[in-house]
Each structure stands twice: as C-alpha cells, then as structure tokens.
C-alpha cells in the first residue's frame, strides 16, 4: 500500500511543486499556512487538477499528465477529511453516513452505518443535524462517513486545528487509535510540529509550495537538511554560515568561527537548538562570549537571550538546576557542542 | 364580473414561472462554470430584461415572433401556430421579463454554496447529478424558492410587453393588468378598482411569502 506523488500546480503567483512517497505509514505534510498543503491533498483527491506530474496510489495511476490520465474524484477511492468536515447540512448524521453507501442494498447499508455509529460513539445522535453537533462529534461523523467508503488512503486536512484546546487532546487520542487501526497509508496535513512528532512516522516539509521527498520524523528533529525544515522543527537559533576548512565554518551572524562535523556541499546556514547550548567557564573551542540581554523564567527552565558579537542574539534554554544566577548585562561564555551543530542548505 | 382575466393571468404566470424556474437554474448553474470574460458578458445579457423598458422587450419579441417575420412566419407555415395576439403569447413576454429575477437569485444562492461540500461528496463517490439535486439544491432551496415566488409575481404583473405581443381581447388575451388599463380607459372606474384590489391582494401575499422565506433562511444560516 503506497502513495507516490510528484506534481506541480501554478495558481496566480503561487507555485506548488511537491514530490514524496509513503507506504503503510502515517505521513505528515508539515508547513506554515498557505504553503500548499491542503492544495496537495485536493490534487490527490482529484477535486483540483495539477498542471503537471503523476499521482499513484497502490500501483493505480490516478493522474498522469503525460499519459493524459485524470480520474474523477469518484473513481479515485481516496478519503479526504476536510478542515470544516463538510458534513451535508441538509441531512441527519445517519443520512450523511447512508449517502456514502449509496448504491448498496438498503439493509446492508443500514447495518454498516449502525456499526460505524457505534464504533465512533455517535449513538443517540443519528437523527441530529450536523449543526447540532460539537466540533469533535462532527469530526467523528465525518471520519465514519469516509471510512464507510473503504478508501485506499486516508487524508486528513488539519484534523485538530478547528477544535478548542480542551477537546483537542481527547480528539488526538481518538485519532491515534483510528490511525493505528487503519491499514492503509494516511496523509496528515498540519502546521504543528508537535502533531507531526506525535502522530506521524514520516514527513515532507513544505516551504512556500515546495516539498521534496519524505524523511523519517526523527530525522526532521535530529538532523534537518534545510533551514525551513529546521525552523519548522522548532529550532530558534540560526546563522548564515560559510566553509573555512574541512570541518570549520564561520558563522557571521554570531560573529564566530566554529569547529563542526564534516561540512556538506552547498552549506548556507548553521543552527543549534536552544536547549543544546551549554554554559562554559571561560574562552575555549566553540565557545562564544556573549552579553546577557534578558533572563526569562519559564516553568521548567530558564531562557536567556544572549547578544553575540555578530549582532544576532542566541536563545539559550538552561535547566534550572544547571543554572547559576545570571543578570542582564553580565558576560557569559556559551559552548556550542560540535555534535549539536546542524549544518543546513 | 367576468373572472376570465384572473384565470388567464394566473395560468400565464404559473406556466411562465415553471419555465423560468428551470431556465433560471440552468443558466445560473451553467454561467457560473464559464471563463470570467464570457461570464461577465453573458451575465449582462441575461440581466438586461430586468432594466429594459417592457416595451423594448415587446418590440424585440414582435421582431422575432411577428407573423410577417422570419421565425413567426416559419412557425405559421410549418405548424400553423400563431405566436402573437393569442393567450399564450403573454407567456413569452412574462418569461423574458421574469427570467432575470430567477436567474439572479438562483446565482446568488449557488454562489453561497460551500464548494467543499461538493468536493467531499465527490470524494465519497457520489455522482454529480446526485450532488446537484440532493445536496446543492436543498442547501440553496430558500433562495431558489424566493426567486421562484418573485418571478411568479413579476409574471403576474407583466403589462408592457404583454400588451404589445398579446394585446387585449376580452375573454381571450385579457389579463388583470391589461384589463385594468382597458377599464380605466373606458371610464369604468368601479370595476377597475375591483381588479386593482385583486392584484394588490395577490402581490401582497406573494411578497409576504418571500419575506418569510428570507427570514427563515437568515435564521437557518445562524
């Protein structure tokens, strides 16, 4: 069971260009809003036509611009959960589910619907209209409706963003159960790296319409390859970088030279996570002298904004236990451990 | 009091209303899918009868359907069907004049239809005709109903184009509006007043219906 996508689509100034493969996993499409994540799902579902490219699901070609294959959404057998759930407002919950089984025998359809209603905890709501349901109930009804069509892949468009934070955690747990039980490939669109980390196995990072390849979620957080992937993974510190030796770089925004791992070709940036920076006793290798700008007390850690010689401050997160009393204005030596420096294209 | 004008006006309005219902929905649905430039031009053409004087509409209809004109003469010779100065001539006039009302309200209703509903229905495997009749039409029914009622009211009140293409023949082509004018012209004030009251009453009921529909639509939108 696999999904292969390689498509391009122009829409005014916006240019979507994405390729990735995913098989039997929960695959995340991660990106800021307006970067083409939803558009990608719509292209796969067939409600939007890409300009060029190829889409394949389980070996079945859904779209191929060169061979002029363009299946209708009805022929594609893919399930797409829309951000607003798109339940039909003129039908009851039961009617919505029965609509998905149109063409099947009434009795079998009703049996399947009853089973789905039980599985998604919608008992007692069969005769309700979608507008009478809470956000979480609407989502469950929409998911039940999609699964009744037995789709080959499941696509979820920001499934948690429309819910308030109280409901979100509960819904996310339910979603995890569902994803565990769904045997096919799932594509999950989100702007939240936390959701990717918790729900996905692999991920494609989309930056202003461009997304190249899939990577394991772990790799996104441990060793992102591009600056946009690095920023989306939650890293706050980055500087322009240039190679000055086989394992040495100059980071001009921090006004320092650093020793690091082997410098890759096409290096443009170096980055380091706030909680990977250590405080040092004095000058040394990979130690940057800084002036403390601000001290921010967080719940479990202390955050320092430290001004560097290059002008760009470093954000440093220190465990409260490791932390000696520091005040704004004080000079501080910060060590950037060699193995923690991320070299980015 | 001869009630033929009431009967004739109601049947003309009812038939026109049915025709306009389907024509208006068809064009509203079709125009929405056209490329932008063509859509703009066609939209103006289809709305034109709303702002043209009815006499201008009547003129165009006579040019097209008159017994001495190409189309009218052809209908006459092929089907022995006279298109002017008979009771159903007024249907042509009513349809043209009432059409923009239906077309514009239906278009407005269709534009308010959430496109993700269509998209999700398609991915669920539902046919496009099912989506149109069972999801989109119910979703837009208040607007479409309001448009239909307005079109009916307009067709009932049609005078200018009707008087040109159907004329006034008592017991044959007379409608309420042409009867009122004829009675006024012949100084039969009392009877004219009765017909005026009948017309006002019908229009009042119709507009009340439109208002109730719109109020219900607003409530459901909340």
Contact A214, A25 (CB under 8 A): no
Domain count, chain B: 1
The pLDDT, as a whole number, for residue A324 is: 62
Tell me if A82 and B119 make a contact (CB, 8 A cut-off). yes
**What residue ranges define each of the domains in chain A, with the CATH number in brackets?**
2-229 (3.40.50.300), 237-344 (2.40.50.140)
The pLDDT-based confidence of B221 (bands split at 50, 70, 90) is low
Residues from chain B that touch A143, judged by Cβ atoms under 8 A, are none
Contact B118, B136 (CB under 8 A): yes
Tell me if A86 and B119 make a contact (CB, 8 A cut-off). yes
Q: Could you tell me how many CB contacts below 8 A there are between chain A and chain B?
A: 60
Residue A221 to residue A28: CA distance in whole angstroms: 14
The pLDDT-based confidence of A323 (bands split at 50, 70, 90) is low
DSSP string spanning A81-120?
E-TT----TTS-HHHHHHHHTTTS-HHHHHHHHHHHHHHT
The model's pTM is: 0.75
Average pLDDT estimate for A257-266 = 83
The pLDDT, as a whole number, for residue A35 is: 83
Residue A140 to residue A121: CA distance in whole angstroms: 8
In A159-245, which residue ranges form alpha helices assigned H by DSSP?
Answer: 165-181, 193-199, 217-222, 227-232
Average pLDDT estimate for B155-163 = 91
When mean pLDDT is compared over A192-196, A317-321, B92-96, the highest value belongs to: B92-96
Q: For all residues of chain B together, what is the average pLDDT?
A: 90
Residues from chain A that touch B143, judged by Cβ atoms under 8 A, are none
Q: Which residue segment(s) compose the domain that B35 sits in?
A: 4-221
Residues from chain B that touch A55, judged by Cβ atoms under 8 A, are none
B121 touches chain A (CB under 8 A): yes
Q: In this model, does residue B216 exceed pLDDT 80?
A: no
Contact A242, A249 (CB under 8 A): yes
Assign residue B102 the CATH number of its domain. Answer: 1.10.3720.10
Closest to A28 in 3D by CA, of A40, A17, A16 = A40
Tally of CB atoms within 10 A around A38? 19
Average pLDDT estimate for A144-159 = 92
Identify the weakest region by mean pLDDT among A64-68, A299-303, B43-47, B127-131: A299-303
Gap from B172 CA to chain A (nearest CA, Å): 45
HEC sequence for A14-30: EEEEEEEEEECCEEEEE
B119 touches chain A (CB under 8 A): yes
The pLDDT, as a whole number, for residue A7 is: 92
Interface ipTM: 0.74
Looking from the CA of A115 toward its CB, the CA atoms found within 13 Å total: 8
B45-91 confidence digits (pLDDT tens): 999 999 999 999 999 999 999 888 888 888 888 888 888 889 999 99
Q: Name, in order, each residue with C-beta under 8 angstroms of A21's C-beta and a sequence gap of 6 or more.
A: A2, A3, A4, A5, A214
Task: Name the closest residue on chain A to residue B124, using Cα atoms.
Answer: A100
């Amino acid at each position: 069971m696999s999904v292969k996508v390689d498509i391009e689509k122009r829409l005014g100034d916006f240019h979507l260009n994405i390729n990735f493969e995913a098989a039997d996993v929960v695959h995340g499409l991660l990106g800021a809003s307006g970067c083409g994540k939803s558009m990608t799902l719509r292209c796969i579902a067939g409600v939007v036509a890409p300009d060029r490219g190829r889409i394949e699901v389980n070996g079945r070609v859904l779209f191929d611009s060169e061979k002029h294959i363009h299946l209708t959404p009805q022929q594609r057998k893919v399930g797409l959960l829309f951000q607003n759930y798109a339940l039909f407002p003129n039908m009851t919950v039961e009617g919505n589910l029965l609509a998905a089984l149109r063409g099947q025998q009434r009795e079998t359809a009703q049996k399947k619907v009853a089973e789905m209603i039980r599985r998604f905890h919608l008992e007692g709501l069969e005769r309700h209209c979608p507008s009478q349901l809470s956000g979480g109930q609407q989502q469950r009804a929409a998911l039940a409706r999609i699964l009744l069509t037995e789709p080959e892949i499941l696509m979820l468009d920001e499934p948690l963003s429309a819910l308030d934070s109280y409901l979100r955690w509960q819904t996310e747990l339910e979603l995890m159960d569902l994803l565990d039980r769904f045997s096919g490939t799932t594509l999950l669109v989100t702007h939240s790296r936390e959701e990717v980390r918790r729900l996905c196995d692999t991920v494609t990072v989309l930056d202003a319409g461009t997304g190249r390849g899939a990577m394991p979620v772990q790799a996104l957080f441990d060793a992102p390859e591009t600056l946009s992937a690095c920023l989306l993974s939650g890293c706050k510190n980055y500087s322009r970088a240039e190679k000055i030796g086989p394992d040495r770089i100059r980071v001009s925004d921090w006004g320092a030279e650093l020793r690091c791992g082997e410098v890759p070709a096409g290096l443009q940036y170096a980055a380091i996570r706030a909680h990977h920076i250590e405080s040092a006793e004095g000058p040394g290798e990979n130690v940057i002298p800084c002036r403390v700008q601000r001290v921010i007390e967080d719940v479990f850690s202390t955050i320092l904004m430290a001004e560097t010689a290059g002008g760009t401050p470093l954000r440093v997160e220190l465990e409260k236990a490791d932390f000696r009393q520091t005040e704004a204005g004080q000079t501080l030596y910060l060590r950037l451990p060699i193995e923690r420096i991320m070299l980015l294209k | 009091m001869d009630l033929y004008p009431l009967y004739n006006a109601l049947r003309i309005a009812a038939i026109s209303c049915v025709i306009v219902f389907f024509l208006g929905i068809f064009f509203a649905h079709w125009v929405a899918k056209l490329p932008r430039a063509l859509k703009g031009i066609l939209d103006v053409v289809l709305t034109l009868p709303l702002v043209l004087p009815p006499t201008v509409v009547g003129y165009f209809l006579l040019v097209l359907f008159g017994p001495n004109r190409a189309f009218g003469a052809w209908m006459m010779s092929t089907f022995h069907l006279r298109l002017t100065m008979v009771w159903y001539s007024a249907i042509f006039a009513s349809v043209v004049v009432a059409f923009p009302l239906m077309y514009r309200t239906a278009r407005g209703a269709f534009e308010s239809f959430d496109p993700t509903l269509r998209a999700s229905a398609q991915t669920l495997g539902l046919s496009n005709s099912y989506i149109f009749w069972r999801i989109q039409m119910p979703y837009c029914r208040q607007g479409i109903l309001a448009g239909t009622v307005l079109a009916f009211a307009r067709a009932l009140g049609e005078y200018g184009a009707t008087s040109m293409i159907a004329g006034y023949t008592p017991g044959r082509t007379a409608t309420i509006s042409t009867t009122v004018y004829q009675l006024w012209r012949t100084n039969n004030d009392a009877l004219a007043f009765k017909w005026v009251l009948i017309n006002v009453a019908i229009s009042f009921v119709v507009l009340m219906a439109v208002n109730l529909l719109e109020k219900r639509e607003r409530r459901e939108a909340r």
